[in-house]
Amino acid sequence: MSVVRVALGNFSAYARGVARKSDLNHYSETQLRHPETDIENPRSRRKIVVAADYKDERPWVLSGVRCKELGLFEIAHLGVAEMLAPYEVVRSNQSGAFFMACLSGQGQIWVDGRWRTLSAGQACLQPAGIRNSFRIGRSKRWDFCWVRFSGGVRSNTIFRASSPVLSDFDAEPLRAAITGLIAELKGAKVSRRNHQWIELAYDYVRSFAGSFRGDPRVQRLWDEVHGRLDFAWDTQSLARQSGLSFEHLRRLCLKEIGRTPMNHLTHLRIQQAIRVISESDDKLAVIARKVGFANGNSFSSAFKKLTGHAPSHFRAEV
**pLDDT for position 40:** 92
Looking at residue 49, its pLDDT comes to 97
Look at residue 35 in the predicted model and tell me its pLDDT. Answer: 63
HSE value, Cβ hemisphere, 13 Å, CA-based, for 32: 19
Q: Compare 158 and 60 and report the one with higher pLDDT.
A: 60
Query: What gap in Å lies between CA 215 and CA 219, rounded to an integer?
Result: 7
Average pLDDT of every residue of the chain: 83
Amino acid at 200: L
SS (H, E, C) the chain: CCCCEECCCCCCEECCCCCCCCCHHHHHHHHHHCCEEEEECCCCEEEEEEECCCCCCCHHHHCCEEEHHHHHHCEEEEEEEEEECCEEEEECCCCCCEEEEEEEEEEEEEECCEEEEEECCEEEEECCCCCEEEEECCCCEEEEEEEEECCCHHHHHCCCCCCCCEEECCCHHHHHHHHHHHHHHHCCCCHHHHHHHHHHHHHHHHHHHCCCCCCHHHHHHHHHHHCCCCCCCCHHHHHHHHCCCHHHHHHHHHHHCCCCHHHHHHHHHHHHHHHHHHHCCCCHHHHHHHCCCCCHHHHHHHHHHHHCCCHHHHHHHC
More confident residue, 132 or 229: 229
With 0-12 CB in 10 A as exposed, 13-18 as middle and 19+ as buried, what is 120? middle
Q: Which among 110-114, 158-162, 167-171, 177-181 has the top mean pLDDT?
A: 177-181
The pLDDT tens digits of the residues spanning 256-265 come to: 777 899 999 9
How far apart CA 133 and CA 230 sit, in angstroms, is 30
Q: How confident is the model at residue 130 (pLDDT cuts 50, 70, 90)?
A: confident
Phi-psi region of 127 (alpha: psi -120 to 50; beta: other; left: phi over 0): beta
pLDDT per position as a tens digit, 271-302: 889 888 888 889 999 999 999 999 999 999 99
Mean pLDDT of all residues in 104-130: 91
Model-wide pTM > 0.95: no
pLDDT of amino acid 137: 78
* pLDDT-derived band at 5, boundaries 50, 70, 90: very low
pLDDT of residue 158: 67
Q: What is the pLDDT of residues 136-151, one digit of tens each?
A: 977 899 999 999 998 7
pLDDT above 80 for 8: no
pLDDT reported for residue 96? 86
16-35: pLDDT as tens digits: 223 233 333 433 434 445 56
In contact, 89 and 133? CB cutoff 8 Å: yes
Average pLDDT estimate for 213-217 = 77
What are the angstrom distances between the C-alpha of 255 and each of 31, 33, 210?
A: 30, 30, 15
Lowest-confidence segment of 115-119, 125-129, 221-225, 261-265 by average pLDDT:
125-129
Cβ count near 124 (within 10 Å): 25
Q: Which residue has the higher pLDDT, 172 or 131?
A: 172
218, pLDDT greater than 50: yes
Structure-model confidence comparison of residues 286 and 5, the more confident one: 286
- Whether the CB-CB separation of 197 and 176 falls below 8 Å is answered with no
Q: Which is more confident, 160 or 15?
A: 160
Q: What is the mean pLDDT of residues 63-81?
A: 93
Domains contained in the chain, CATH given = 42-209 (2.60.120.280), 216-317 (1.10.10.60)
Return the higher-pLDDT residue of 69 and 314. Answer: 69
> Which pLDDT value is given to residue 1?
34
In this prediction, residue 22 carries a pLDDT of 34
Whether 300 and 273 have beta carbons less than 8 Å apart is answered as no
pLDDT of residue 75: 94
What pLDDT was estimated at residue 157? 59
The stretch 173-179 carries a mean pLDDT of 98
